[in-house]
Structure 1
Amino acid sequence: MRWSIVLPYLCALVSFSPLASAIRLLQSSSLNQCMENSNFTASLFNVVFTPDNRTVQLDIDGFSSISGNVTAELIVTAYGFTAVTLEMNPCKMNIAGLCPMQTGQIKVNPPLTVAQDVVDRIPGIAYSVPDLDGKVRIYINSTDTGATIACLEANMSNAQTVYQKGVEWTVAIIAGLGLVASAITSGLGHSNTAAHVAANALSLFGFFQAQAMIGATSVQMPPIVQAWTQNFQWSIGIIHVSFIQTIATWYQRATGGTASSLLSSLSTTSVEVQKRWFEDPIGLTRRGLDWLSKRDDSTNVAKSDTIVINGLTRVGFKANIEVTNIFLTGLIWFSVFVCLVMIGVSAFKGICELLVKNGKMSSDKFQDFRNGWKVVLRGILFRLILIGWAQMCVLCLWELTTRDSAAEVVLAVVMFFSMLGVLGWASFKVISLARRSVTMHKNPAYILYSDPSCLNKWGFLYVQYRATAYYFVIPVLLYLLIKGMFIGFGQGKPVLQAVALLIVEAAFLVGVMVLRPWMDKKTNIFNISIAAVNFLNAIFLLVFSNVFNQPGMVTGVMGVIFFVINVVFALVLLILVLIASIYAIVSKNPDMRYQPMRDDRNSFIKSSTALNTELDALGNTARGGEMELKSTAYHPTYEDEPNSFSGGNGASINTRPQYDGHRAPPSPVDPSVPLFPSHGPPPSYEPYSHDLGRTASPARVGDFDPASALAAHNFRQQNNSSPWQRGAGYDH
C-alpha cells in the first residue's frame, strides 16, 4: 500500500472538511537558530515556494555578523526523513544582499526561480498531507575557510491543516444538542432517557476538554497534533471574538497591566512555534514582549530577536488571541455562557406559561419544571460550574504564574476558590444525604432520588453514577484539579507535565475499570473507553516530550497515529451522542431504549404530583378517616425549607407536626418528599409513647378496617416490594 496515496484521502475524510488546495505550495514564516553563537538571525522570515511555476518568494529581514563570500547547504526533511539536499551559491544565483554578505541589517525580497530537477525531487505527498511535519535546515559556510558560521532552521507548511472552524462548530453543536435533548426529555418526564443522554453528553464534553488540555501542555508536539487539539480549545474558553479582545485589552490596561502586541507585529516580527526545547517558554515570551515594547527604528541586535511560543501561549496565538488576553477571554466566555443558559431557562419557563395560558400547550407538559423551575435553575447553575471546573482550573492557576495584572490575579483567585467551595459544599451535601439514606433506609438512592429538591439541586453530581457510587464525583473533581495544576503551573516543564499526566490518567483508568461507577453497563463502556483513549494520549505525549530521544521519524509517525486514533474515536462518540439525542427528542417513549437501572432510582423519581396523591389516598384509606387530598408535589419545602432532606436540618420525616385531639392526625409521610410504600417502616419510624413526650402512632387500633388493609396490601403488591429490600445497586 502506498501511504503517499492513502494518507491525503484519509485525512480529508476524517477531518470533516476538504483539505485539497487548488494551488500547491510550501511556505515558512519563522527562521530559528540551530546552533549556538549563530552569526545570522532574522526578525522577519517569510518564504513561499510554488512548484507549479518553480518560483520562491523571499521576504527576509535579518541581522548578520558575517562578511565575505559564503555558500549554503540546504537539507529538507519530512517526518524525520531527509528528502532533499542542495548546495547553493548566492553569487551564482544572483541573490542581492548575499553576494557578498555584509555585517549589519540585511533585507532580501527578490523572487527566485528553481530548477525543474529540484522541483521533481520533492515528493507529491508534501503538498497534500495536512500539517506537514517538515523542516528546512540551512548551514552557511565560509568560502574561504569552509567552516560553518551559521545554522538556520525553518518549519515548512503546505497551507493544509486539520484545524478547521467547521470542525469546531460541528463538535460544539453536537455536544450542546446532547445537553438540550436531555433537558427536554427530563421536562417531558422521561427521566431514564434524560439521565443517559446527559451522562453521555457530559462525558463527550469532558473528552473534548481532555483534548484541549493535551494541546495546552508545553510539550513539543508534531504539527498535526497541535492542529487537531486546537479544534477543541473552545471547550476551555479559548474563542476569538474581536470585541471581547478589545474589552480584555482595555481591562488589563485599566488595571495596571501591559498588554502584548504580538499579533499586531507579525509584519515585522518572526514568531516561532516551539519545536526544540531551549528554556522556559514564558521567560522567552516575556523577553520577546519586552523587546516589542522597546523596539524602535534604529539598527541593533535586538531587532534580530525571535519570539518563542508554546503551550497556552501557542494555543492563544493560533486562536488569534493576544498572550495577555488568554485568561480573561476564558473567564468572559464562561461567564457569558452561564448568563445565556440562565436567560434561556427563564425564557423557556415564560414561554411555557404563555402557551399554557393561551391553550396552545397542555397544562401537564413540563409541569414539574414549571412548578419548581427556580430549584431546577439552581441545579443547572451547579452543573455549569461542574462543566467549567476543568477550564478554570487550567486558566486560573496559569494566571497566577503570568500575572497579567493585579486585578486579573484577584479574579483568578476569587473564581478558583469560589468554584472549589461550591463544588466542595455540593459534594459534602451529597455524601451526607447518601449516608443518612443508608442509615435510615439501607439504600443511598432513597433520599438522593425521592426528594425533588435534593435531586434538582445536587443531582448533577451523582445521577450519572449508580446509587452506591454517589461518592465518585470526589475522585473526578480531584482528577481534573490535578491535571489543571500540572498544566497551569508546569508550562516551563514539558517532561514533568507528560510524566504527571501519564500517572494521573493511568490511575484514573485503573480506578474506573475496577469500580465501574456509572449507572449501567453501556455508560460504563462509554466512559471507560474515553479514559483508555486519554491514557493512550498521555503515552503519546510522553513520547512527544522526547524523553526517549527517539528519531524524528518515530515522532512524526506517532503524530499521525495520534491524529487518526483520536479523530476516529471522536467521530464514534459524536455519532453515538447525536443518535441518542435525536432519538430522545423524536421518540414518543424514548425510555423503551434503555433498561431500568438496577439501583431502583426510577421508583423514586416518579412524578411527585401523582405519587403524593396516591400515597395520601392510601394513608387516608388505611386510617378510615377523611383527609383533604391535594397536590403537594412542590410544597414550600421544595424551595429549601429547613425540614427538607436537602435543606440542612435533617430528614423531614423526623419533624412531627402538632395536632389536637379533635382533628385526625396527619400522615407520617411528609408531602414534600415522595416516599415509596413498603411492607414495614424503616428504623426511624419506630412509634414513640406519649409518656416519653413523643408522638404515638397515628393509626389507632379501633380504626382498623380489614377491607382497607386489603386495599393497601394490593397497592403494595402492584408497586413492588420495599425499595430497600431490592437491588439498590449493591449487586454491581
Structure 2
Amino acid sequence: MVLLHRSILLFLTWVSLFINPILAKRSLLATSLVTCMENSQISPSYFNVTFNPDDRSLRYSLDLSTEISSYVIAHVQVYAYGFLIIEKNIDMCTLGWKQFCPIFPGSMQVESIEYISKDYVKMIPGIAYNVPDIDAVVKVIVKDRDSGEELSCIQSGFTNGKTVSQTGAKWATAIIAGLGLLIAAVLSTFGNSNAASHISANAVSLFLYFQSVVVVSMQHVERVPPIASSWAENLAWSMGLIRVTFMQDIFRWYIQSTGGHPTTYFLGTTKQILVQRAMDYLDGMHKFAVRNDVTGFFSNQSVEEYNKRSLDFSLSSNTNTIILRGIERIGFGSHIETTAIVVTGFTFFILCGFLLAVILVLIKQTVELLIRFKKINPNRLNHFRTSFASIMKGALQRYIYIGFTQLIILSLWEFTQNDSPAVIILAIIFLILSLGVIGFSFWKTLQFGKKSIIQYNNPAALLYGDSRILNKYGFCYTMFNANKYWFGIVLTGYSLIKGIFIGLCQYSGKASSLILFILDLAYTIHLFIQAPYLDKSTNVLNYCMSIVITINSFLFLFFSDLFGQPAQVSSIMGWIFFILNAAFSLILLLMIIVLICLAITSKNPDARFAPAKDDRASFQRKSSVKRKSYTDKGDNLASKEKDNVHNELFALGLAAQDHSNNWELEMYRLHNLSNGADDEDDEDKSSSSENHKSHDILTPSLNQSDKWIANEKERTLGEGSDSDDNKPNNNAGLGAKLKNLTRNLSTKKNNNSPPNANKTSNTPKSSHITRISDTLSPKEEVNSLNTPILNESPKTHQRNYSEMSAQQSMNNNPTDATRIV
C-alpha cells in the first residue's frame, strides 16, 4: 500500500513537471539595471542576468558606460518585501572577474558566465524560488577600495519567473462573466423575468467589480507591489485591453499614418523600460527599495521623443531608462504599446457590440426559420419577434452601460496623451456616444417613473407594464427595487467621477488616490442607507463588493506613498490586496456558475428565485412559460381551449404571486396545472390544496360545495343575467371553474366590505396599486375592454384572463365591471 501511494505521488509529480516545466528548474532573473544616486559614475544601458542555484551558475550580459578608474569594492544589499535579508562587502578582485579588477573609463560590454560560491548560494532562502511575483531587489553601492568614496549606486529587481498573471485566469473570468450576461439576456427574451432580473443584477455587478479592480490599479501611484499589479492584469480584459498581435501591427501603422509617433517598446533592445519605480521609496532603509515589475525593450528613438510624453522619472534618469506608471503600466503588462492602448480599447468595444447584434439577429432568423418549417408553435416567442427592434436597442444600450467606465477613462486619457489627431477624434466620438446614450436613457427613465407615479401612484405601473419601455430602458432599473428605479443615476454618476479622476489625473497619483478613497467610502455609506437592489441577497452581495472596492482604494493610499510609510507596509498590503480580491472573485464566479446552472436545468427558472420585494410581477408581461407542447396539432379547437386555460392560470397566478407565503410551492403547482392536467387530476389537486387553505387563501379548492353553488345561483339571479357562463356546471372545464372561482372571490370581497367601500374604490389613484386592473377607473376599464392595457403590443396573439373575464361580464351586466380581479 505504501509502495502504491509513493508510486502515485511520483506519477503526479512527473505529470506536473511535464505540464509546467518551469516548476522543475529553480532560477532567479533580472532584466534591468538602473542608477540609484545622483552623479553616478556608472550608467547601465542593457542588463540581463540569470542565476541557477542548482549548478550555481550566473549568466550575465550587460552594456554600461563608466567614468571610474580604480580598484573597487561592492557593498551588496538584498531586500525582500522591504526587509533587508543580505548585506555584504565584496572585493571584485577576489571574485576573479577580470573585467572589474580594476575598472577603466569607457564603454563596457560583457557577456559571460560565472559560478558562485556555495556560501553565497546558501544565503538565499528557498522561498525566493517558489513565491509568485516575489518582491525583491538587489542594490550595489560601488566604492573606491582605497579611499572608501561612493562612486556609483546601481540596483535591480529580480523575479523567479512565477506569477499570478495567467492566461487561464483571464479566460476563466471573462467566459464566466460573459455567460452570466448572456443567460440573463436569453431568459429575459423568453419571458422568465424573475430569474433574468436576478442573474442580470449579479452578472452586471460582477463585471463592474472586475472593472473597479483594474480602474483602481490604473492610478498613477509611486509603486504597486508586483503581486497586486499581476492580479490586476488578469482582469484587464474587462477594460478592453486584449493583445492580438496582428491588431497591434495595424494600430502601429494607423497611429503613424494619422500623424502620430507610435512607441515600439517590444521591438528593440537598445533601452530599458521600468514599470513604476521611485528613488525615495525606501528612504527609511538606505533610501532604497524598488522592484522592476516588468521590463521590455524598444528600437532606436531619441530621448526627446519620450520627453514629449512627459514620462515620470523619479529615479536618477539616464538616456536608456524609461518609467511607466498608471494606465501605461497596465497596458504594458498586457503587452500593448502605450500609443495603442486607447485604440485597442475602442476596437474591442466595437467588436463585442457588433458580435452581440449579430447573435440577436441570428436568434431571430433561426426562430423565424423554425416557425416556417413548423418545428415550433407559431405563438412561441411571439413577443420577441414582434418587439425585436426595441429588444435590440435595449441590448445595445445595456452593452454601452457596461462599457461606460472604459469609454470615459480611455477617452479622457487620450486628451492628455495625443497619440494622433485621428485617435483624438475617435475619443471625442466615443465620449459623446457614451454620455449621450446613457444620459438620455436615464432621463427617459426618470420621466416614465414620474409619470407613472402621477397617474398610478406607483413607478412600476409604466416601467414594468409597458413592454416597450421595459425592453428599451429596463437596463437602467430592473436590477433595483421598483421604488428605487432612480438609483442607476447614482451608480453612473459615481462611475463617471471616478473615470474623470483616473483619466485626467494620471500625474497626480497622491491626489487622485485620496479623492477616489473618499468617493468609494461615500458611495458605500449611501448604498447601505438606500439598500436599492431588488432583494436582500442582491443587496448583501453589492454591500460586499462595495466594501472590497473601498478597501482596495484604501490600500492604494499606501501604494501612493501618501503617508511615507516603511517599505514593509506596502509589500504586505500588496499581498492583502491579492488574497482579498482573488478569494472574493472566486466566490463571485462560483455564485454565477450556480445561478447559471439553476437557470438552465430548472423547468421553471422563476421558481428558483425569491420574488423581488416590489410589485413588478403584477405589471410585467410574461410571454411564455415552459410547458408541454401540443401533441395534437390538427385539433385547432382543443388548442384554443388549452390556450385559454393557460391564460386563466396566468391571471390567477399573478393575483396570488405577490401575497402568497408559500410562493415556491405555488409556482410549481401552477406549472403542473399548466402541463395539461385533466379534470379528474384537478379534483385530486383541489382536495390537497384544502389542507393548505390556511396558508394560501388566494388559491382555494376547486371543489364546489352545495353552499357555493347556492350562492352562485343567488348571485346570478340577482344580477338578472341569462348567460350560460354564470350558471354553475359540474361538468365544466378547468377554465370555467377558475372563472367562476375568481368571480366568487370578488363577490365575497364586495359583500364583506363596508358600505363606504364602493365610494373609495372609485379612486384608485389615491392608494398604492398592486396589479394592472387597479390602475383603471371604472370608466377607463369599460372603455379599455377591447384594447390592451398599458400600451400592450397590438400584434400580441394572446389576451390575458382579466380582459376575457371583463368582456364576458360586461356582456351580461355592465355594472359588474369593477368586480374583475
Pick the TM interval, shorter chain: 0.7 to 0.9
Equivalent position of 2:595 in the other structure: 580
TM alignment of 1:506-655, pairs within 5 A:
506-607=521-622
Partner of 1:98 in structure 2? 100
Deviations 1:497-529 (A, max 9, x none): 210110111011011100011111011011111
Tell me which residue corresponds to 1:684: none
Aligned residue type for 1:480: S
What is the match of residue 243 of structure 1?
246
Listed as ranges, the matches of 1:49-64 within 5 Å are: 49-64=51-66
Aligned to 2:147: 145
Q: 1:673 aligns with which of 791, 795, 815?
A: 791
Match of 2:68 among 66, 82, 92: 66
Find the partner of 1:291 among 303, 314, 319. 303
CA distance in 2, matches of 1:121, 1:365: 73
1-structure distance, mates of 2:176, 2:502: 27
Aligned residues of 2:467 and 2:621 also touching (Cα < 8 A): no
Using a 3 Å threshold, how does the CA distance of structure 1 residues 289 and 580 change in structure 2: closer, same or farther?
A: farther
Query: What is the SS of the residue equivalent to 1:602?
Result: helix
SS in 1 for 2:100: coil
Q: What root-mean-square deviation, in Å, do the aligned CA atoms of Structure 1 and Structure 2 show?
A: 3.5
Distance 2:481 2:789 in 1: 26
**Alpha carbons 2:77, 2:139 under 8 Å: kept:** yes
Alpha carbons of 1:472 and 1:52: their partners in 2 closer, same or farther (altered >3 Å)? same
| Aligned residues of 1:260 and 1:324 also touching (Cα < 8 A) | yes
Per-residue CA deviation, residues 201-241 of structure 1 (Å, 9 max, x unaligned), is 00000010011112212221100000001101110011000
Matched residue type, 1:193: A
Q: Which aligned pairs between 1:2-21 and structure 2 lie closer than 5 A?
A: 21=23
Aligned to 1:45: 47
Shift of 1:550: 1.7
Structure 2 SS opposite 1:108: strand
Q: Deviations over 1:395-434 (max 9, x none)?
A: 1111110000011111101211221011111110000000
Which of 369, 379, 385 is residue 370 of structure 1 equivalent to? 385
User: What is the DSSP-based 3-state SS (H/G/I as helix, E as strand, rest coil) of the residue aligned with 1:97?
Assistant: helix
In 2, Cα distance between equivalents of 1:58 and 1:565: 38
Q: Distance in 2 between matches of 1:417 and 1:287?
A: 37
How does 1:47-446 map onto structure 2 within 5 Å? 47-219=49-221, 220-265=223-268, 267-276=269-278, 290-291=302-303, 304-446=319-461
Instruction: Determine if contact 1:19/1:161 at 8 Å carries over to the other structure.
Output: no
Q: Which amino acid aligns with 1:673?
A: N
Equivalent-residue separation in structure 2 for 1:316 and 1:82 (angstroms): 32
Structure 2 counterpart of 1:10: none
Asked if 2 retains the 8 angstrom alpha-carbon contact of 1:26 and 1:127, the reply is yes
Q: 1:310-369: CA deviations, max 9, x gaps? A: 111111111111111000000001011101111111111111221222233343443321
**Shift in Å at residue 103 of structure 1?**
2.0
Aligned length: 632
Unmatched 5+ stretches in structure 2: 1-18, 282-296, 308-315, 625-642, 653-718, 724-774, 776-781, 794-798
**Structure 2 CA distance for aligned equivalents of residues 20 and 540 of structure 1:** 32
State the secondary structure of the residue aligned to 1:308: strand
Give the match for residue 687 of structure 1.
none
Shift of 1:613: 8.3
CA distance in 1, matches of 2:111, 2:22: 28
Q: How far has the Cα of 1:126 moved from its partner?
A: 0.6
Task: Decide whether aligned partners of structure 1 residues 311 and 368 sit closer, same or farther in structure 2, where only a CA change above 3 A counts.
Answer: same
Instruction: Evaluate the alpha carbon distance shift between residue 310 and residue 674 of structure 1 in structure 2; reply closer, same or farther with a 3 A threshold.
Output: same
SS of the residue aligned with 1:137?
strand
Distance change (3 Å), C-alpha of 1:225 and 1:208 = same
Q: Is the CA contact (8 Å cut-off) linking 2:266 and 2:298 kept in structure 1?
A: no
SS at match of 1:59: strand
Alpha carbons of structure 1 residues 419 and 575: separation in structure 2 relative to 1, 3 Å: same
TM-score by length of 2: 0.72
Q: Name the SS for the 1:109 alignment partner.
A: strand
Contact kept, 8 Å, 1:200 with 1:523, in 2: the verdict is yes
Q: 1:464 aligns with which of 463, 471, 479?
A: 479
Give a deviation string over 1:173-221, Cα, whole Å, max 9, x none: 0001101111222233211000100110000000100111122122211
**Aligned-residue offset at 1:474:** 1.2
Q: 1:365 to 1:73 in 2, by over 3 A?
A: farther
Could you tell me how far apart the structure 1 residues matched to 2:298 and 2:49 are? 27
Q: How far has the Cα of 1:457 moved from its partner?
A: 0.5
Letter in 2 for 1:250: W
Equivalent position SS for 1:110: strand
Which structure has the larger Rg?
2
AA aligned to 1:62 is: L
Q: Is residue 132–residue 223 contact of structure 1 (8 Å, CA) maintained in 2?
A: yes
Q: Who is 2:287 aligned against?
A: none
C-alpha separation in 2, matches of 1:605 and 1:249: 50
Which is worse superposed, 129-138 or 360-369?
A: 360-369
Q: Residues of 1 paired with 2:147 and 2:31: CA distance?
A: 31
Contact 2:28–2:161 (CA<8 Å) still a contact in 1? yes
Match for 1:504 among 514, 519, 522?
519
Q: 1:665 to 1:215 in 2, by over 3 A?
A: closer
Contact 1:95–1:110 (CA under 8 A) maintained in structure 2: no
Residue 272 and residue 302 in structure 1: after superposition, are their counterparts in 2 closer, same or farther (change >3 A)?
closer
Amino acid at match of 1:349: K
2:729 counterpart residue number: none
Query: Which moved further from structure 2: 81-90 or 434-443?
Result: 81-90
SS in 2 for 1:264: coil
Q: Could you tell me how far apart the structure 2 residues matched to 1:706 and 1:302 are?
A: 94
Q: Which moved more, 1:456-465 or 1:363-372?
A: 363-372
Residues 712, 441 of structure 1: alpha-carbon distance in 2 compared, 3 angstrom cutoff: closer
- Alpha carbons of structure 1 residues 665 and 131: separation in structure 2 relative to 1, 3 Å: closer
Contact preservation (8 Å) 1:28, 1:155: yes
Inter-CA distance 704–35: structure 2 relative to 1 (3 Å threshold): closer
Name the CA distance, whole Å, in 2 between partners of 1:176 and 1:212.
17
Which runs of 5 or more residues in structure 1 are unaligned?
1-16, 280-284, 296-300, 626-653, 655-663, 680-697, 717-732
Q: Distance in 2 between matches of 1:704 and 1:294?
A: 82
SS at 2:185 equivalent: helix
Give % identity.
35
Contact 1:393 1:484 in 2 (8 A): yes
Counterparts of 1:277 and 1:320, CA distance in 2: 25
Q: Which amino acid aligns with 1:291?
A: V
The answer to whether the Cα contact below 8 Å between 1:214 and 1:229 also exists between their aligned partners in 2 is no
- 8 Å CA contact 2:270–2:298 kept in 1: the answer is no
Q: Which residue of 2 aligns with 1:30?
A: 32
Q: Hey, what's the Cα distance between the residues in 2 that align with 1:601 and 1:49?
A: 65
Distance in 2 (alpha carbons) for counterparts of 1:171 and 1:221: 22
1:690: which partner in 2?
A: none
In 2, Cα distance between equivalents of 1:468 and 1:112: 73
